[in-house]
Amino acid sequence: MPNAEGSVDLIAEIGHVEPPILADGLPEEIGGIPEPDPTYFKLDKFPHSDKPFNLELKKINYNMPDYSWEEDAYVFDKNGLDVVPVSKKTAAAAPPERRYRRVANCCECKQPIYEDGKTRYHRNGKRDRNGERNFYYCDNCAPKFAACGCCGHNFLTAELQYEHCPYCIEDAPNRYIEAYHTKVEQVIEKKGEPRDQLFFGVELEYASGRLGLDTLIVRNLVRDFAKLKKDRSIVLNGVEYAGFEIVSCPCSAEVHAALWDNFFANVPETAIPNESCGMHVHVSRVRVGDLQIAKIMMMIHDKKNRGYIEAIAERASGHHNNFHDPRPVCEAKEGGFYMPRDRHSALNLNNRNTIEFRIFASTKVRASFLKNIEFCRAIMKFTGMGEYSIGQIQDFAVFAEYVKRNAKIYPNLWEFMRGNPVFARLNIAK
């Protein structure tokens, strides 16, 4: 019935009305529903419609940026003039009991989750393990789940290994170990500006008993400066392709000394530098002539130096790093790459832009890794100087004295030689 002012008093017409709520019930800790404000339900018209007011519950669709749902609800504005859905615009104006929304049911325990400031909800990751988006977890269940660091899907924390899910681990070798002929220098730019213009590219090989997980871990450690590649020569328990080689972009020696710190501090225990694994160092051919290449070949392949080369390489001569058999210096003619031969030699000259030193064993020790790079740098500088004759080049004692005089440039190489009994006969420690 209209009142004196011509408005319809809903309270007088239909008696006391409990305000509808947005869910079947509220959490126990909220403590019930406060007594409604009678003036809150006095409506005389809709400002945007001439339709009569209907107090029956209706379906209201809530569309938010992150989620949407449908509920039975009426929501009134502060002045009682309109019927509007709960949103950021109206939540502040609604009475306290109307500000609580049921976001969803917990995906684990299936209990309702309310956005009430007390019962929080979590959205860990982009998808669940079945690929579905927007999965929610209550406070009690959220600690059981975490997002995979690779794909972002939600998994039980017990299913994750080093923050990676089983599916990403299984697929990692196919996704992240690239073909053998991939040219890393075409994908990652060289780093550093060496004064001597010598850049070094490293190939570091590892076998692995858990190839998928090791692939993900190592890739994350070296992704800014290296790629993982396949290599058939890496064998574990008689199985080929049982690992990967880490191939770096060309870098100066100083840059290499800084880039690999995090890798050697966190390299997985299951990445194994076994007897099938080696370390190869590519050195740029800038200002390297045929005579210098011949000097390097004579120094490495001289039978008097075999013990010293083997000690520095930390492995014996073999099929993949042959420095035992003599090599004719005529192969250095025109840089060596015009006379292709088996690259499985101590010194591979088949590449037009680099000289590859293949003598070294793979390693998980930073000092040994840097020692190998410093040896290549030292031998390039030593053979490139005009002050030494060919006879002196073949005398390893002369080379050892050169390293000693330049110990600040080759600190890891010098420490290795000074402390190794193989070099004691050279009297370099005095």
- Asked whether 164 and 150 are in contact (CB, 8 A), the reply is yes
Would you state the pLDDT for residue 413?
Answer: 97
Q: Which residues pair with 60 in a beta bridge?
A: 71
Structure-block tokens of residue 268: 């997985």
Would you state the pLDDT for residue 72?
Answer: 36
- Asked whether 17 and 95 are in contact (CB, 8 A), the reply is no
CA–CA distances in Å: residue 187 to residues 184, 249, 411 = 5, 8, 31
Would you state the pLDDT for residue 171?
Answer: 93
pLDDT 10s digits, 219-256? 999 999 999 999 999 999 999 999 999 999 999 999 99
pLDDT 10s digits, 334-357? 666 655 566 778 888 888 889 999
In this prediction the pTM is 0.71
CA atoms of 224 and 258, how far apart (whole Å)? 13
Burial-class residue 364 by CB neighbours within 10 Å (0-12, 13-18, 19+).
Answer: middle
Structure-block tokens of residue 275: 């007897």
The residue assigned the tokens 């210096």 is: 329
Query: Packing angle between helix 396-405 and helix 366-384, nearest 10 degrees?
Result: 110
Q: Provide the pLDDT confidence category of residue 3 given band limits of 50, 70 and 90.
A: very low
Give phi and psi for 212, each to the nearest 5. Answer: -60, -50
Would you state the pLDDT for residue 336?
Answer: 63
By C-alpha distance, which of 156, 152, 158, 128 is closest to 141? 156
User: Which bin fits 15, alpha (ψ -120 to 50), beta or left (φ > 0)?
Assistant: left
CA–CA distances in Å: residue 216 to residues 95, 145, 165, 294 = 52, 20, 11, 42
Class of domain 172-426 as given by CATH: alpha beta
CA atoms of 114 and 315, how far apart (whole Å)? 65
Structure-block tokens of residue 191: 């780093």
Q: Give the sign of the dihedral formed by CA 299, CA 355, CA 232, CA 251.
A: positive
pLDDT 10s digits, 113-140? 665 444 444 444 334 445 454 567 777 7
Provide the residue ranges of all domains of the chain, joining segments of one domain with +. Answer: 1-99, 105-160, 172-426
CA atoms of 285 and 351, how far apart (whole Å)? 10
CA atoms of 19 and 34, how far apart (whole Å)? 10
CA atoms of 395 and 414, how far apart (whole Å)? 17
Q: What percent of the chain has pLDDT over 90?
A: 43
By C-alpha distance, which of 374, 381, 399 is closest to 281? 374
By C-alpha distance, which of 269, 162, 171, 145 is closest to 220? 162
User: Got the DSSP string for 44-112?
Assistant: --BTTB-SPP--S--EEEEE-SS-EEEEE---B-TTS--B----HHHHTTS-GGGS-EEEEE-TTT--E
Find how far residue 374's CA is from the centre of its chain.
28
